[in-house]
Structure 1
C-alpha cells in the first residue's frame, strides 16, 4: 500500500498557494486583454465624417450623468412646485367650483399616478421628482380646501387633522410604491405635527380637551422611537431618530422645568410620570438603536433622576433639593453596578446610565463645595481684628456679619455624606473586581449562534482601572472630613466648642499618619489624604483661634506638638515626615510670634525673637547630618529668617542686628562640609549687609567704610586660595577685593574737592602697584597703576586747565602736530617696545 505524499509545513504550503494565485491572476489578465481585442474586431466602432480631423484626446467631464440628471429633475420639480403655488394663491379665486374641483382632481391624480408608469419604464429618478411634486400638491390642496370651504374651523385643529391624514396617505403611497424613497420619510416628518397642533389647539380653546405640550412632544417621540426601532428603511429610521431626539429632548426639558417649579407632591406627580415615561422611551431606543445608545441612555438616566428627585424634592423644603436629586442618582448608579443584572444591557447603555448618574453627583458636589470652602476659609476674616474677642457662635465666626447664620448647613452635610458613601461603595466594588477586570459570571459574551450582534461587556469593564479604587477612597476620606468640619455650623455651636472640635478633628486626622498601615489596607490613599486634610485643617483652625488670645496659644501649642510628634514617631515615608517637619517649623514660628505679640513687642523687636527659629533649625539639622529631611527643614527655617528680616525693615539698627545674627547662623552651618559651599557665601553676604546697614543707621557717608570690610576678607580669601592653588589667576584671587574699594573711592575722588582722599587713595594705589610689580602679579599692577594714573590726572587737571588758558590758541594744535610727527617717526620702535611690555605683562599672573 502506497503511503500518501507528506503534507508540507504551513509556511511552505502558503508560499505555494501565493505563487499559484499570482500565476492565475497573470493568466486572467492575458485572457481579458485577448477578449477585448476580439470584441473590437467583431464590433468595430462606427466611422464619423469628422474622424480624420478630430484629435484622439477627450476632455474630462466636469459632472457625471447621474449628477446632471438629478439637477435637471430637481430644477424641474422646483419650477413645477412654484407654478402650482402661484396657481393656488393667485388663479384659484377666478375659477368656479367645478373648475376648481376639476383642476384638483386632474393635476393631483396625474401627479400621483405618473410615478407608477415611470417606475415600470425604469425611470426611478424622474418618478421621485414627480412624486415629490405630488406631495406638494397634496399640501396645496389641503390649504385650498380650508381657505374656500372650511374657514370657520380652527386653524390648529384643521392643520392637525390634515397633517395626520397626509402622513397616512404618504405612508400608504410609499408602501404601495416601494421603489420610491421620498414618501415614507416625508410621512414621518408630517407625523411630527398632529399631536403638537392638537395641543396648541387645546391651549387656544380653553374648553377643548387636549394633552399638554410636554405630553404631546412625548407622544410624538414615542411614535418616532417605534419607527426608529422597527422601521424597514434606513431613511425612515434616520428621520425618526432625529425626530425622537428633538421631540423627546424638548419633552424632558419641559418636564424638568415643571418638576422644579412644582409646589407640592401633587403638582410634581404629573411631571414625574412624564419624565419616567420619557426615560423608558429613551432607554428603549438606546437599547435597540445602536447609533443612539450613549446619548439615549444618558438622557434616559437624567430623566429618571429628575423624575424621582423631583418627587422627593417636592415633599421636602426647597433647600433640601440637592440631596433629593442625589438620592435618585445614587439609586440609578446602584442599579447600573448591581452584580446580578439579568437583563445585561449593552455596554453603551451602562456607560450612559453611569454617566447620567455621574453628572448629577458632580452637580451635587459643586453645590456643597462653596460651603466647604467657606467653612475652611471663612475664619480668615478675623485677620484684621486679631484678639478682638470671640464671635457669637460658629456661624458668626465665618465672617460676613452673620450672613451665613441662616444657611442650611445640614443639607450640605447630608449631601456630602451621601457622596462619601457612594465613593466608598464604589471603591470597595472596584477593589473586588480589579483582579478579574469584569464581574464574576458576567464576562464579555459573544453573540449567540445564529444571531447577529456585538459582544456586551459588564459594568466593571467600563471603570475597573487599578487607580480608580484608590482615587475614590481618597475622595471619600476628604468628604468625610469635610462633613466633620461642618459639624459646629450644623449644630450652631458656640465659639469655644467650635474651636475645640476643629482642633480635635485636626489632631485626629494627623494621628492617622502616625500608624497608616491599618487604614491603608482598605484605602491606600487615605493616609496621604488625611495628611492633606490635617494640614488644611490646621491652617483653618489657627485662623479660627485668632479671635481670642487663649484660643490662639492653645491651638498653636497643640498643633506644634502634634507636628513634632508625627515627624519623630510616624511610620510614614520621608515625604510625609518632611511635610510635618516643615509644618512644625511654621507653627513654632507662629507660636514665637504670638508670644512676642502677647509681650507687647514691636514688629522689629519680634524679628529678633523670630531669629531663634532658624538657629534652632540649624542646630537640629546639624544633628541630622545628610538625612533627607534636613534640606526641607533648612529651607523652612530660612523662610522664617526672611520673615524676621521683613519685620525688622522699619528699624535699621535692628535690621543690622538680625542680619548679623543670621550671618552667625549661616557661618555655623558652613562648618558642615556638605553645606560649606552654600552657607559660606551666604554668611559672608549677610555679614557685609549687616555692616552696611549698621553704617547707614549711623549716618556714615564715607564709601571706604562700606567697602573695606569687603576688601580685607576678600584679599585674605584670595591669598589663601593662591597658597592652596598657585595656578589661580591674580584677577580671580585679588581682583574683586581690590576693585571693591578702589573703584568706589576713585568715583568719590572725582566727585569731591578735598585733598585728603586723593592723597590716601594715591598712596594706596602706589603701594598696590609696587606690590604687583614686586610679586609680578597682573591684577594689582594693572588696577593700582590705573587708579594711580586717574588720581594724578584728577589732581593735575586744574593746573592743566590754568596753563591752557595762559597759552596761545595756536599752540595746542602745533604741539599735537609735532607729537604726531614724532610718533610717526618712531612708530616701529614704539611697536617693538609695546610688544615687549605686553609680553612682560603676559608672564605675570
Structure 2
C-alpha cells in the first residue's frame, strides 16, 4: 500500500519543516551567544583610582633611559678628565688612571652578562669603548707627541677597530662593539692617504677600497647591526668615490676610468651576491661603466662626438638584457620554449620576489646573468641613452616650431635665421642610433618610440644640416606624407607584435586567467569554478569582463598621425614665406588629408576631413590674395568652401559628413564676417548661404536644421538689403517673416488639428502686429493706425469664427490698444474741459457699481475665461 502524499501536499510539508528548523536554529544561536557571554565576559578596563598616577613608560624603557643617561654622564666625565687638568695630576698620571678605569670598564660586562644584566653590560661596554679612544689620545700626548696627528689617528683607528672587533667577538651578546668597530674601520685608509699627502684620486681609491671591505662585511657577516652599519658606510664611501671618478673622467679620463671600472666591478659582484639589491647595485655599476668608457671616448673624439659616444656605449649596455633569454625554459613535458614547466614557475616567482637564493638560482637558469642584474644594467643604459636623446631633440623642436614663430612678413621671400646654427650636427646620429635600437625590440612601446624618434630625426635634419629653404620645405612635406601614410597603413610596423591586453594586472582579469589555467589543466568539476552565479561559492574566481585590447596598428597609427599633423602645420607655416610654396604646400596637404579621410579609420578620418576643409580654405585665401581681391570678393569666394562641403557631405559617411559640413559652416561664418563691412555684399553673401542651406535641406537627415538655417539666412539677407535701401518701415521687415510663419502654421494645423493656435499662428502674428503697434503709437499720420486696426479687426474676427485663441487674444489686444491710441487726444481734451472734482466722483461711482454687481462680474469673467480655454 502506497502512503506517499501528492507532490503539492508534500512540498507544503517540507516547507513547513524547513521553517521550523530555521526558527529552532535561530533560538539555539541566541542561546549560544548568551552562554558565551556568561562564560567569557568581556574584560573591561579596571577604573583607575583618581589618586593613582598613570605610568607613561614601561620598566624596560625607564631602565634604558637611566643606563643611557648614566653612561653619557660617565663619558663626559672621562673626556673632561682627560682633556682638562685634574688637580696637579699630569697627563701621564691621568693616562695611567684612564688605563686602569678602561680595563675595569671593559672587564665589568663579563660579570654583568653572567648575572643576566645585558642592558647594564651594554652601557658599561659603551663607556669602555669611549675610554679606549681617550686612552689612545692620552698615549699620543704622553708617548708620541711628535707623531703626525693624521697618521697617528689612522693607525689608532685601525688598532681600535681590530680591538673592538675582537672584544665584540668574545662577548658576542653585546651589540655595540662590532658596529662601532665598523665605523672606526672607515678611517684608516682615507686618513692615511691624507697623512701621506695624497690628492683626490688617491683619496677616492682609499674610499673605494674601504667601501669594498664594507661590502665584504655585508656579504660575509651575520649580525644585522653590523651588516646595516657596513652597508651604510659602503654606500656613502662608494658613492663618494664614484662621484669623484665621474669628475675625474672629465678632467683626467684614464684616472677616472680605472677608478670607475674598479667600482663598477665591486658593485656588480655585490649585486650578484645580494639579490635583494641586485637591480639598484647593478644600475650603479652600469652608470659607472658608462661614465668610464664614455670618458675615454670623449678624450679620443672631437667635442661634437662626445654625446654620441656615451649613447653608443649606453645602447651597447642595454643589449645585456637580451643575454638572459639565451636558455629557454623547459616545460613539464620536457619541451623547450613552452615556459610552463618548473623552471618557468621558479622564474616567475623570482621575478615577483626579486630576492633570496631561490630567485638567483631560478634566474640564472635562464641565462648567465640574473634577471635583477640584467634589469639594472639595461636600465642604466636606457637612462643614459634617454639623456642623449633629450640632448638631440632641440633641433627637432626648432625645426617644428621655428616656422610657426615667424618674424618675417607673409610672402616676403625672407626666411628666419637658424636659431641653432652652432648646435652639433651629430645630434642626428644619436637619433639614428636610438631609432635602430628601438626598432629591433619586439614590443609595442619600442615601436612607438622608434616611430616618434624617426619623425623627430626627419624634423631635425634641416636644422642640424642647415639645409636650404626649398629642401627644408620638401623634407617637411615628405615627413608629413610619410607619417600620414603610416597612420593609414601601419601594417608593416606591426610585424612581430600582438595586441596588448588593457586589462593586464586587473584583479578580475587575473582571476579569469587563473580560472582559464585551471580549466586548461583539467580541473573540471567542483574543484574548478566555472563562473559566478547564485550557486558559486568562489566569488573571487568570477571572471570579469575584459577591457578591449589595444591593437598595435591603432596605437602606431595614432602615433604617426599626430606627428604627421604637426609636420603639416609646420610646413604650411614655413611655406608662407614664398607665394608659390604656399600654393604647393596647401595643395599637397589637401591631397594628403583627403586621402586619409577616405582611407583612414576611426576619428582620424574625421580630423583629416576637417583638416582638408581648412587646407581648401587656405587655398581660397591664397588665390584671393594672389589675385588682389578686395574683402567683399574674398568673402564671396570663401562661400565656395561651404558649397563644396555640402556637396561632399551628401556622399560621405555620417561622422565625416558632419565634420566636413560643420567646418564648412564655420568658414561660411568667416565669409560673412569679412563681408560685414559692405552691407550690400553681405546681403548677397547671406542669400548665397541661404541657397546652399536650402540645397542641403533636400537631404532627409539635414532637412529640419538646414531648412531653418536657409530661412534665417534668407530673412537676414532681406533685412540687410532693406537696410541698404534705407527702408525704415517695420512692416517691410516683419511681413517676410509673418507670411512664411503663418503658412507653416496653417500646414501644421492641417496635419495636426489638435495643435495649439499659439504654436501655429502666435509667433507669426506677433512678429508683425507688435512692432506695427509700437510704430503706430509714435506715428503722427493716420494711415498706419487705420491699417493696423483693420488688420487687427480681421484677425480678431477670424479667431472668433474659427475659435482660435491666439488670433482672438492678439487681434483683440492690438485692436483695443490701437483704438485707445486714436481716442487718447479726445479723452485728454474732455478731461481738460471737465471740473476737477468730476474724475474722482466718476471713479467712485464706478467702484460702487462694480461692488454692487461683484458676483455677476465674477460669473461673467469666469464664462469668458472658459470660452477662451475651449479655443485652440
- TM-score (normalizing by structure 1): 0.78
Q: 1:811 to 1:512 in 2, by over 3 A?
A: same
Of residues 526, 539, 544 in structure 1, which corresponds to 2:569? 539
Cα distance in 1 between the residues matched to 2:781 and 2:240: 94
Match in the other structure for 1:223: 213
Of 143, 153, 175, which aligns to 1:181? 175
Alignment of 1:440-589 (within 5 A): 469-512=443-486, 517-521=491-495, 524-525=552-553, 526-565=556-595, 567-568=597-598, 570=599, 572-573=600-601, 575-589=603-617
> Cα gap change, 1:209/1:664 in structure 2, threshold over 3 Å: closer, same or farther?
closer
Give, in whole Å, the separation in 2 of the partners of 1:368 and 1:217: 36
For 1:80, which of 74, 81, 106 is the aligned residue? 74
Aligned match of 1:245: 235
Aligned pair partner of 2:422 in 399, 406, 412: 406
1:127 counterpart residue number: 121
Query: Could you tell me how far 1:599 is from its partner in structure 2?
Result: 0.2
1:335 matched to 2:320? The reply is: yes
1:731 maps to 2:754 = no
Separation (CA, whole Å) in 1 of partners of 2:490 and 2:584: 27
For structure 1, which segment, 168-177 or 757-766, has the greater mean C-alpha deviation from structure 2 after superposition?
757-766
Q: Is the 8 A contact 2:487 2:560 kept in 1?
A: yes
Q: Is the 8 A contact 2:762 2:807 kept in 1?
A: yes
Q: Is the 8 A contact 1:306 1:328 kept in 2?
A: no
Hey, what does 1:688 align to over in structure 2? 715
Alignment check: 8 A CA contact 1:383 1:546 kept = no
* Contact 2:82/2:94, CA 8 A, preserved across alignment: no
Distance across 2 between alignment mates of 1:411 and 1:753? 88
**1:740: how far off?**
3.3
SS in structure 1 of the partner of residue 404 of structure 2 = helix
Counterpart selection for 1:619 from 601, 624, 647: 647
How many aligned residue pairs are there?
730
Report the counterpart of residue 313 of structure 1 in structure 2.
298
Per-residue CA distance 1:398-451 (angstroms, 9 max, x = gap): x3x34322222x222111111111111112xxxxxxxxxxxxxxxxxxxxxxxx
Rate the CA distance shift 1:91–1:745 in 2: closer, same or farther, 3 A.
Answer: farther
When structure 1 is superposed on structure 2, of 512-521 and 273-282 the one drifting more is 512-521
1:655 is aligned to: 682
Show the counterpart of 1:713.
740
Distance of 1:231 and 1:650 partners within structure 2: 91
The question of 1:277 aligning with 2:262 is answered yes
| Residue 375 of structure 1: how far off its partner (Å) | 0.9
Q: Which of 769, 778, 781 does residue 808 from structure 2 map onto? A: 781
Q: CA deviation at 1:62?
A: 4.2
Q: CA deviation at 1:668?
A: 1.0
Q: Decide whether the 8 Å contact of 1:383 with 1:543 is kept in 2.
A: no
Deviation at 1:328, TM superposition (A): 2.0
In the alignment, the residues of structure 2 paired with residue 631 and residue 504 of structure 1 have an alpha-carbon distance, to the nearest angstrom, of: 30
Deviates more, 1:229-238 or 1:382-391: 382-391
1:297 aligns with 2:306: no
* RMSD (Å), alpha carbons: 3.5
Could you say if the C-alpha distance between residues 750 and 516 of structure 1 is closer, same or farther in structure 2, counting changes exceeding 3 Å?
same
Query: How much has 1:114 moved relative to structure 2?
Result: 1.1
Q: Within 2, Cα distance between the matches of 1:584 and 1:176?
A: 87
The residue aligned with 1:458 is none
Q: Which residue of 2 aligns with 1:378?
A: 402
Give, in whole Å, the separation in 1 of the partners of 2:566 and 2:313. 32
Please list every run of 5 or more consecutive structure 2 residues that lacks an aligned counterpart in the other structure. Answer: 1-38, 40-47, 328-363, 498-551
Report the alpha carbon displacement of residue 337 of structure 1 after superposing the two structures with TM.
2.0
Cα-to-partner distance string for 1:98-122 (whole Å, 9 max, x where unaligned): 4312321122222211111101111
Q: What CA deviation, in whole Å up to 9, does each residue of 1:287-310 have, x standing for no partner?
A: 333443333233222222222222
Equivalent residue for 1:592?
A: 620
1:179 match: secondary structure: coil
* In 2, Cα distance between equivalents of 1:290 and 1:746: 94
Deviates more, 1:280-289 or 1:123-132: 280-289
Report how far residue 724 of structure 1 moved. Answer: 1.3
Shift in alpha-carbon separation, 1:558–1:175, aligned structure 2, 3 A: same
| Alpha-carbon distance in structure 2 between the residues aligned to 1:749 and 1:659 | 31
Offset, 1:148:
6.7
CA shift, 1:248, in A, is: 2.5
Gaps of 5+ in 1: 1-32, 34-53, 392-398, 428-468
Residue 199 of structure 1 contacts residue 210 of structure 1 at CA under 8 Å; is this kept in 2? no
Higher alpha-carbon deviation: 344-353 or 268-277: 344-353
1:58-84: CA deviation from partner (whole Å, max 9, x where unpaired): 998643332222222222222323333
Distance 2:202 2:829 in 1: 112
Q: Find the aligned partners of 2:154 and 2:824 in 1 and give their Cα distance.
A: 112
Match of 2:31 in 1: none
Counterpart CA distance in 2 for 1:141 and 1:791 is 122
SS at match of 1:623: coil
Task: Give the 3-state SS of the residue equivalent to 1:629 in structure 2.
Answer: helix
Corresponding residue SS for 1:426: coil
Q: Is the 8 A contact 2:109 2:124 kept in 1?
A: yes
Equivalent of 1:422, from 437, 442, 445? 437
Report what 2:392 is aligned to.
368
In 2, Cα distance between equivalents of 1:749 and 1:141: 120
Return closer, same or farther for 1:567/1:148 CA change in 2, 3 Å cut-off.
Answer: same
Change (3 A) 1:208 1:614: closer
Partner of 1:235: 225
Provide closer, same or farther for how the CA distance between residues 198 and 830 of structure 1 changes in structure 2, counting only shifts above 3 A.
farther
Shift of 1:520: 4.5
Give the Cα separation in 2 of the matches to 1:810 and 1:656. Answer: 60
Distance 2:214 2:822 in 1: 106
Asked if the contact 1:519–1:527 (Cα under 8 Å) also holds between the matched residues in 2, the reply is: no
Give the distance between the partners of 1:487 and 1:384, measured in 2 at CA: 22
